[in-house]
């Protein structure tokens, strides 16, 4: 089971890179071409190299504001791609295509390189005679480690540049919202009160024509060589080592993000308060992959909530807007937790005196992944995941609870499957969501949480609409039979939907088993 590793490395652990970097660049797309040429920079000065990562937009990007002329670059980094999967990487390529277009409209070009940023960025900074290198901060252990390594590599290469990290990914950086003793909040309600009441920055304007340099003007032709033709060439999924996604992945790019946000802000946000927990009502924003890759800025989303609140017709409508803002706060809460505890990706956040005795159950895990557990709401969610690379939050929780409590399978197995299948996979929210569902996470509740998949189905999919959409075997089943499927007798099940599986576990028995496992972990008598 693979996961973004967290190595507690410090800057001094990185080997000096200059000696090896020419070789490391060979054969790596633009980076390789850069390596083959000589390094004679043009006379242009005042160039700022901006390294795009999860901020694939030009509007509402604080790192792009300023007087220097901008040379943007994205680096396909094998160390990061190792944790990628077809849905996220396909969305990423769509987002890069859109970003490249935005730069072209401004007379510039997005440089697309492949290789180790510790070698690509110093070479490029040297080649364009950059005064500064900027990027927006990300919060995983791997990202922090990479930031330190790139800063060290720039210094080591003797490139005289200012390195500046911006906080464009969040409304409030981790160090600005803390408990009284300066540590991160582990209780969401405390965090929310403080986060909500803080003033929020407005989105910054996009750079205009003239602010952006064309690399063909900034980098010497001879030096740039073939790269001048291919600077904006996107690799294919196959070239990056990925198959096509199994799912129909939602459109990427800034236009798609802004269309979603505009529709949501005009209408859906006012029913978000009442409808957001009902998967069939399609009342959530679907912005998660855009917020993950930054094809929309969070300040822009916040501004939309201000506009919606100002236009709200009554108190209920304003409360609905507030319910959505609370979700944006969850996003930042988990990013702060990850920043403070990068190990939450692989280790329990909450300590139990004894190990939780997870079960090894390959057949149960397979049935869960394939949406064949015989629990219709769980199966609908797992099939939506494969079909759309996205799942409604309520159903993510129910499916995660089923895996970790009813099957008593380690949350890391579920995390890994979601990572491979979700288009919005985000280390912070995935670790936060999985550990919350598994009762190992940042959570104010001292008790072990269970979601009964039958009552969840009755409450949140009362007409069985969501299940019918994703589980065709149950399309013609009466609604009661959908909810009660796990407790129907075999004869009834065979008469109603002969092709849909019987439940793989008895909920009552397995509920008891999970309680015992958590009591043992807590050391209860
Ligand atoms: C087990 C589990 C795993 C999850 N994994 C991810 C993940 O990998 N990536 C991801 O973006 N979200 C994850 N979530 C959180 C949540 O399910 C999704 O953010 C949400 O369903 C996305 O749909 P939306 O954009 O329509 O959300 P909306 O309801 O419209 O919310 C707006 C935005 O707020 C943020 N948000 C909403 N709910 C949460 C939450 N509970 N935690 C953190 N941020 C939230 C997201 O950025 C979302 O796009 C997970 C939740 C669970 C229970």
Residue 425: its pLDDT value, please?
A: 98
Q: Among the atoms of ligand 1, which is closest to the Cα of residue 285?
A: 30
Best of 88, 140, 188, 288 for a ligand 1 pocket test (most atoms within 8 Å of beta carbon) = 288
Q: Would you kindly state where each structural domain of the chain is located, as residue ranges?
A: 47-168, 176-203+254-340, 362-522
Answer yes or no: is pLDDT of 277 > 90. yes
DSSP calls for 259-293:
HHHHHIIIIIHHHHHHHTT-GGG--S---HHHHHH
Residue 231: its pLDDT value, please?
A: 57
Q: Among the atoms of ligand 1, which is closest to the Cα of residue 289?
A: 11
Listed range (32-46, 136-150, 192-206, 502-516) with the worst mean pLDDT: 32-46
**How far is the C-alpha of 101 from the C-alpha of 99, rounded, in Å?**
5
pLDDT, tens only, 311-363: 999 999 999 999 999 999 999 999 999 999 999 999 999 989 999 999 999 99
Per-residue pLDDT band for 64 (boundaries 50, 70, 90) equals: very high
Listed range (3-17, 252-266, 474-488, 505-519) with the worst mean pLDDT: 3-17
Residue 241: its pLDDT value, please?
A: 95
Residues composing the chain: 525
- In sign, the C-alpha dihedral spanning 429, 433, 439, 440 is negative
Per the annotation, does 184 bind a ligand?
no
Per-residue pLDDT band for 56 (boundaries 50, 70, 90) equals: very high
Per the annotation, does 30 bind a ligand?
no
List the beta strands (DSSP E) in 45-139: 47-52, 69-76, 111-114, 130-136
Per the annotation, does 284 bind a ligand?
yes
Residue 448: its pLDDT value, please?
A: 82
Residue 319: its pLDDT value, please?
A: 98
Per-residue pLDDT band for 46 (boundaries 50, 70, 90) equals: confident
pLDDT, tens only, 449-459: 889 999 999 99
Q: What is the mean pLDDT of the chain?
A: 88
**CA 318 / ligand 1 centre spacing (Å):** 21
3-state secondary structure of 163: strand
Per the annotation, does 360 bind a ligand?
no
**CA 384 / ligand 1 centre spacing (Å):** 15
Distances in whole angstroms, Cα of residue 393 to Cα of each of 277, 278, 291, 397: 8, 9, 15, 6
Best of 300, 404, 433 for a ligand 1 pocket test (most atoms within 8 Å of beta carbon) = 433
Per the annotation, does 83 bind a ligand?
no
Per-residue pLDDT band for 440 (boundaries 50, 70, 90) equals: very high
- Residue scoring higher pLDDT (353 or 221): 353
**CA 426 / ligand 1 centre spacing (Å):** 9
**How far is the C-alpha of 398 from the C-alpha of 388, rounded, in Å?**
18
Find the mean pLDDT for residues 405-423. 98
DSSP calls for 288-306:
HHHHHHTSS-HHHHHHHHH
Best of 393, 440, 451 for a ligand 1 pocket test (most atoms within 8 Å of beta carbon) = 393
Residue 225: its pLDDT value, please?
A: 53
Listed range (119-133, 248-262, 400-414) with the worst mean pLDDT: 119-133
**Cβ atoms of 31 and 119 closer than 8 Å:** yes
What residue ranges line ligand 1, CB within 6 angstroms?
Answer: 276, 284-288, 291-292, 327-328, 330-331, 334, 393, 396-397, 400, 418, 422, 424-426, 429-430, 432-434, 437
Residue 447: its pLDDT value, please?
A: 74
Q: In 41-82, which ranges are continuous DSSP H helix?
A: 78-81
Q: Among the atoms of ligand 1, which is closest to the Cα of residue 425?
A: 8
Answer yes or no: is pLDDT of 5 > 50. no
Per the annotation, does 285 bind a ligand?
yes
Answer yes or no: is pLDDT of 420 > 70. yes
Best of 331, 337, 389 for a ligand 1 pocket test (most atoms within 8 Å of beta carbon) = 331
Answer yes or no: is pLDDT of 488 > 80. yes
Per the annotation, does 272 bind a ligand?
yes
Per the annotation, does 426 bind a ligand?
yes
> Going by CATH, does the domain composed of 176-203+254-340 fall within 3.40.190.10?
no
Per the annotation, does 418 bind a ligand?
no
Comparing C-alpha atoms, which of 347, 451, 358, 348 is closest to residue 409? 358
Burial class (CB in 10 A: 0-12, 13-18, 19+), 50: buried
**CA 291 / ligand 1 centre spacing (Å):** 10
Q: Among the atoms of ligand 1, which is closest to the Cα of residue 399?
A: 1
**DSSP symbol at 140:** S
ipTM beyond cut 0.90? yes
Percent of the chain's residues with pLDDT above 90 = 77
CATH of 47-168, one of 3.30.70.260, 3.40.50.620, 3.40.50.10540, 3.40.50.11740: 3.40.50.620
Q: Among the atoms of ligand 1, which is closest to the Cα of residue 430?
A: 5
**CA 289 / ligand 1 centre spacing (Å):** 9
**Cβ atoms of 468 and 483 closer than 8 Å:** no
HSE-CB at 53 with a 13 A cutoff on CA atoms is 24
Ligand 1: residue whose CA is nearest its atom 24: 286
**CA 421 / ligand 1 centre spacing (Å):** 14
**CA 328 / ligand 1 centre spacing (Å):** 9
Q: Among the atoms of ligand 1, which is closest to the Cα of residue 422?
A: 8
Q: Among the atoms of ligand 1, which is closest to the Cα of residue 400?
A: 1
Best of 277, 327, 391, 436 for a ligand 1 pocket test (most atoms within 8 Å of beta carbon) = 327
Per the annotation, does 218 bind a ligand?
no
Percent of the chain's residues with pLDDT above 70 = 88
Topology of domain 362-522, per CATH? DNA Cyclobutane Dipyrimidine Photolyase, subunit A; domain 3 (1.10.579)
Find the mean pLDDT for residues 249-255. 97
HSE-CB at 485 with a 13 A cutoff on CA atoms is 34
If one counts every other C-beta atom within 10 angstroms of the C-beta of residue 466, the result is: 26
């Amino acid at each position: 089971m693979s996961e973004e590793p967290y190595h507690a490395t410090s800057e001094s652990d990185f080997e000096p890179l200059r000696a090896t970097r020419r070789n490391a660049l060979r054969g790596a797309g633009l980076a390789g071409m850069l390596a083959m040429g000589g390094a004679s920079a043009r006379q242009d000065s005042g160039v700022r190299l901006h390294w795009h990562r999860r901020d694939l937009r030009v509007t509402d990007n604080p790192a792009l504001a300023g007087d220097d002329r901008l040379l943007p670059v994205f680096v396909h980094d094998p160390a990061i791609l190792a944790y990628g999967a077809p849905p996220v990487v396909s969305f990423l390529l769509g987002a890069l295509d859109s970003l490249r277009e935005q730069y072209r409209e401004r007379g510039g070009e997005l440089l697309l390189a492949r290789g180790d940023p510790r070698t690509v960025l110093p070479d490029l900074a040297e080649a364009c005679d950059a005064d500064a290198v900027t990027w927006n901060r990300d919060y995983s252990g791997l990202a922090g480690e990479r930031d330190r390594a790139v800063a060290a590599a720039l210094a080591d290469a003797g490139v005289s540049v200012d390195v500046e990290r911006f906080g464009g990914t969040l409304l409030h950086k981790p160090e600005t919202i803390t408990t009284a003793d300066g540590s991160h909040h582990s209780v969401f309600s405390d965090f929310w009160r403080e986060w909500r009441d803080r003033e929020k920055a407005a989105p910054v304007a996009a750079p205009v024509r003239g602010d952006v340099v064309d690399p063909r003007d900034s980098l010497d032709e001879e030096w740039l060589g073939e790269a001048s033709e291919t600077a904006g060439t996107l690799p294919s999924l196959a070239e990056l080592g990925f198959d096509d996604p199994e799912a129909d992945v939602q459109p990427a790019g800034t236009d798609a993000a802004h269309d979603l946000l505009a529709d949501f802000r005009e209408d859906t946000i006012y029913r978000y308060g009442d409808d957001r927990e009902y998967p069939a009502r399609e009342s959530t924003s679907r912005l998660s992959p855009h917020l993950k890759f930054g094809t929309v800025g969070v300040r822009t989303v916040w501004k939309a909530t201000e506009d919606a609140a100002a236009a709200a017709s009554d108190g209920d409508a304003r409360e609905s807007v507030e319910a959505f803002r609370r979700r944006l706060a969850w996003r930042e809460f988990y990013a702060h937790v990850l920043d403070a505890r990068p190990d939450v990706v692989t280790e329990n956040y909450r300590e139990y005196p004894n190990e939780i005795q997870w079960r090894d159950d390959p057949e149960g895990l397979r049935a869960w992944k394939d949406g064949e557990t015989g629990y219709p709401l769980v199966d609908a969610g797992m099939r939506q995941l494969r079909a759309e690379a996205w799942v409604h939050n309520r159903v993510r929780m129910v499916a995660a609870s089923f895996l970790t409590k009813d099957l008593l399978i380690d949350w890391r197995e579920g995390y890994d499957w979601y990572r491979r299948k979700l288009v919005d996979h985000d280390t912070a929210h995935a670790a936060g969501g999985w550990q919350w569902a598994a009762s190992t996470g940042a959570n104010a509740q001292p008790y072990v949480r269970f979601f009964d998949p039958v009552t969840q189905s009755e409450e949140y999919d009362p007409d069985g609409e969501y299940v019918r959409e994703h589980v065709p075997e149950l399309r013609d089943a009466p609604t009661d039979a959908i909810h009660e499927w796990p407790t129907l007798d075999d004869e009834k099940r065979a008469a109603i939907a002969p092709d849909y599986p019987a439940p793989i576990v008895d909920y009552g028995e397995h509920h008891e088993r999970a309680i015992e496992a958590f009591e043992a972990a807590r050391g209860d008598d």
